[in-house]
Structure 1
Amino acid sequence: MTFEAGTPPEAAATDDHVLATWLAEEAGRRLLEVRTQGLEGKELKDAGDAAAHELLVALLAEHRPDDAVLSEEAAEKSADKAHRLSADAVWIVDPLDGTREFSEPPRDDWAVHVALWERTPDGEHEGELTAGAVAQPALGETFNTGQPPVVAPWTSERPRIAVSRSRPPAFVQKLAQEIDAELVPMGSAGVKVMSVVRDVTDAYVHAGGQFEWDSAAPVAVAQAAGLFTSRIDGSPLLYNQDDVYLPDLIVCRPELAEQILDFVERHGVTSAG
């Protein structure tokens, strides 16, 4: 079966928010199709990674040919890196975030990330995330910066913290004990960030190692929704860097930011999921 991408909305030609959303949704459709092909385990993981990556790279080459692309699924060559670091616009994509969850149908806690980083013309900052979309195809939902999500008023009696279901979150367990929080396990970094946007959780705190593509699109959407985002020490999250390793982050309701940062300052970080 040959997958054919749909026609992008007319606005995608000039509106990066619209394009990011369409790209994430098209990759999501492709991944849902891959899930129907009878593959299992590693074969399904590999097929999903490859199919979504190939589609996103091809569509970006067609619709934004002058922009650079940073993708988890592509080994970055020296020439690609030089182009990315000098470019004014870089698309940072994770074609399949939550590969393990994707390979375990009918799990829905996996996502597609598409973000745009642009160099700031005023020279005050190197660059910033200007558009982003996170698709959760198995839920039929896409969150984007063009129509930022409205975060509901706080509904939980206790703070809820999204954590990895596969790695022991020792640091987060200590944080949860201090602020009397409930831990909510789930897969995919993007799904964890979107859980804060969706009022499924109130915070996602990670210090166990990530890369730019793991958080760029989710952070763009979270910022557009008015959530607090930072490194674990409170410093800004920076993208399109020479070293794309971005090991930690905090995404939370603004009301929780001070408590979390204070805990980190007093106790440090050993590991987080």
Structure 2
Amino acid sequence: MTADLNDATLALRLAQGTGEILKGVRNVGLLRGTTLGDAGDTLAQDWIERCLHLHRPDDGMLSEEAADTPERLNKDRVWIIDPLDGTREFASGRQDWAVHIALAENGTITQSAVGMPDLGKVFHTNEVRAVDGPKTNRLVVSRNSPPDIGEFLAHELGMELVTMGSCGAKTVSVILGDNDAYVHAGGQYEWDNAAPVGVAQASGLHTTRLDGSRPTYNNKSPYLPDLLICRPDIAEPLLAAAAKYKQEHGSFGE
């Protein structure tokens, strides 16, 4: 490890730098659509890999944009990253895309950063606090793959259902108090939610899977399909409603 660059600073700078790369690729206007998204993914992944190889050569890595290898399972420290979460949103000019950088130590997220480049902000574990204001009575779910359980929970608790892109963007919306809760079921992997979970936990939000258990990271299978991030004061009724949904449907919709 480079002695003058601690884990928190490294996570923050990786999120900052990746955001600048992605904005640069998009803002010059030479690429569009899937070509733009692919270029952003590739360039951001390459830069992050080079930085980690230089500053944390002994750590493992799990990324959406890199081939997974079993070597990471023998590492106590593993960086879990998604260089560009919300590729569709990024490529279409929306703001609800994010950069995810997380460090898992023995299965637990110890440092993380969620970059929101179009907002000019990085939310990171060493400096984040959830807004403790009046409830909005809104539940946010995926824009591209809204889970059936989301509509069920919103109906059970009398909440308004809203949609957004990136997992990081949805988590940040709860941290900022724009939404009271974020629920997901089906189709997520560790790189999708590791950084958001780390930042949400550090902010004081409730963060579990839909059965109430804590998510763990650097598992052999990175599939981690369900998640609840919410204000602590509404966690109990949301978990109770999720249990009711599972009892009626047999699963959370994974």
Percent same amino acid among aligned pairs? 49
1:22 maps to which residue? Answer: 13
Aligned equivalents of 1:142 and 1:195: distance in 2?
13
1:256 maps to which residue? Answer: 234
Aligned equivalents of 1:12 and 1:258: distance in 2?
43
Contact 1:84/1:90, CA 8 A, preserved across alignment: yes
Q: Which amino acid letter does the alignment assign opposite residue 195 of structure 1?
A: S
Deviation >6 Å, runs of 4+:
none
Q: Gaps (5+ residues) in structure 1?
A: 1-10, 120-126
Give a deviation string over 1:124-165, Cα, whole Å, max 9, x none.
xxx311100000001101000121x22122323x42111122
**CA 1:168 to 1:63, structure 2 compared with 1: closer, same or farther past 3 Å?**
closer
Q: Per the alignment, in what secondary structure is the counterpart of residue 50 of structure 1? A: helix
Aligned equivalents of 2:133 and 2:66: distance in 1?
40
Q: Per the alignment, in what secondary structure is the counterpart of residue 35 of structure 1? A: helix
Q: Which amino acid letter does the alignment assign opposite residue 267 of structure 1?
A: Y
Aligned equivalents of 2:146 and 2:51: distance in 1?
38
2:221 maps to which residue? Answer: 243
Deviation at 1:115, TM superposition (A): 0.3
Write the mapping of 1:1-273 to structure 2, written as runs, cut at 5 A.
Answer: 13-37=4-28, 38-76=30-68, 80-81=69-70, 83-105=71-93, 107-119=94-106, 127-147=107-127, 149-156=128-135, 158-268=136-246, 269-271=251-253
TM-score (norm 2): 0.93
- Coordinate RMSD, CA, aligned: 1.6
**CA 1:152 to 1:129, structure 2 compared with 1: closer, same or farther past 3 Å?**
same
Contact 1:163/1:204, CA 8 A, preserved across alignment: yes
Q: Gaps (5+ residues) in structure 2?
A: none
Q: Which amino acid letter does the alignment assign opposite residue 17 of structure 1?
A: A
Q: Which amino acid letter does the alignment assign opposite residue 81 of structure 2?
A: V
Q: Which amino acid letter does the alignment assign opposite residue 115 of structure 1?
A: A
**CA 1:130 to 1:62, structure 2 compared with 1: closer, same or farther past 3 Å?**
same
Aligned equivalents of 2:3 and 2:233: distance in 1?
35
TM-score (norm 1): 0.87
Contact 1:18/1:146, CA 8 A, preserved across alignment: no
